[in-house]
Structure 1
């Protein structure tokens, strides 16, 4: 699986579109304020690191997907 994840990847995993968008938004906020990466303070950016999403939702993704 790729090291970055977007809303469509979460939808393919079974999340509803609004929930997937919310997870991506939370991951971007985490990247800006906790990891000090201002690059993610961009509303058009939709890709976030997979490990951040995994830590937010508490599920480890399979490497095969």
Structure 2
């Protein structure tokens, strides 16, 4: 499976609370729009690149993140 994209459930599996996980995804989507990817303006799109999430967190995401 491809682990280069994450959603809020993946962050919750790492120990983040739901509200925090959703905020991280929201911030990642905003960064992707600023980088020139208008696809991320879609409200229904909930998966973002793992590298963007790691840049928000400031460290690599440790743990097995399984995408369905």
| TM-score with structure 1 setting the length | 0.91
Output the aligned Cα RMSD. Answer: 1.3
Report what 1:8 is aligned to. 9
Report what 1:38 is aligned to. 38
Runs of 4+ in 1 over 4 A off after TM superposition: none
Distance 2:10 2:41 in 1: 21
How many residues are treated as equivalent by the alignment? 63
Unaligned runs of 5+ in 2: none
| TM-score with structure 2 setting the length | 0.87
Report what 2:54 is aligned to. 54
Report what 2:27 is aligned to. 26
Unaligned runs of 5+ in 1: none
